[in-house]
Chains A and B, each alone.
Chain A
Amino acid sequence: MDKKVWLTQEPIDPNNCIEKVTRNEAGAVNTFIGTVREFTKGKRTLFLEYQSYVPMAEKKLAQIADEIEEKWGNTDTAIAHRIGRLEITDIAVVIAVSTPHRADAFEASRYAIERIKEIVPIWKKEHWEDGTQWIGDQKENTSYDKKIPSEEEMYND
């Protein structure tokens, strides 16, 4: 697969993302792995379902990789997000960022996951022990009052 950002129904191998960003100029590859948690504030999750608007989600993931390059420079970013049914401990997302020095790699990975939670059209449906619910706005600081994302949320700076 040539794509550096992609959605898949299959389990994600983190090495896949790491290999895509490994290069001679990089002294650091930071990898973030998001997994399915069993308990949220004492409530038990049985399994999860992720749904996505795939073509737009891949575009927005690519945009995040571009934003990282603009902000830190000399970066390479790979992001894979799984969709469909996921069991507890399954990997939902893998982000790998390579940079010449470690500080940038840490910061950029953090940036990538926060941006995913803002602009990438992927939704999580929780199948709790006592029912189901689509989860929105995990960041809990995004205002939808204006009915559209702010310029900052759409394009960032």
Chain B
Amino acid sequence: MINVLFFAELQEAAGSEKVDVEADGLSVNELKTRLKSTFDLANLDNAMTAVNEEYSNEDTMLKSGDIVAFIPPVSGG
């Protein structure tokens, strides 16, 4: 099971802060495709992805227990 976190506008689009997805062995890119089929996440492709709190690539492979966070363009400061 992969824990998926949404923030900012993606959280509002998904209607949830956190979902668990059966996605062991999928790549980040494949997870995104799966999420887009379930949720209305038009801006998902504008987000960066973090796996276990580090920025990752589209082809990073996921394993059970990973925390995947989608990070829309940041605006701190």
Contacts and interface: CB of A to CB of B under 8 A. Distances in A.
Nearest to A137: B73
Given A53-B5, A144-B46, A123 B72 contact: yes
B53 A93 contact: no
A129 to B, nearest CB: 19
Given A51-B7, A121-B7, A123-B7, A136 B72 contact: yes
Interface stretch (A8-16, A21-29, A38-46, A147-155): A147-155
Given A56-B69, A147-B58, A148-B55, A135 B77 contact: no
A56 B7 contact: no
A147 B27 CA distance: 14
Nearest to A122: B76
Interface residues of B, number: 26
Which label, helix, strand, loop or mixed, suits the secondary structure of the A interface? mixed
Interface residues of A, number: 34
B22 to A, nearest CB: 23
B50 A121 contact: yes
A72 to B, nearest CB: 20
A134 B72 CA distance: 10
A142 B45 contact: no
Interface string B25-57: 000000000000000000001111110011111
B14 interface: no
A149 B50 CA distance: 10
Nearest to B8: A123
Given A53-B5, A144-B46, A147-B49, 18 more contacts: A56-B50, A93-B77, A116-B76, A118-B74, A119-B55, A121-B7, A121-B50, A121-B69, A121-B76, A122-B75, A123-B7, A134-B9, A134-B75, A136-B73, A136-B75, A142-B73, A147-B48, A148-B55
21 contacts: A51-B11, A53-B50, A53-B69, A56-B54, A56-B69, A92-B77, A120-B74, A120-B76, A121-B71, A121-B74, A121-B76, A122-B74, A122-B75, A124-B76, A136-B9, A136-B74, A142-B73, A144-B73, A147-B48, A147-B49, A148-B48
Interface of B: 5, 7-9, 11-12, 45-50, 53-58, 69, 71-77
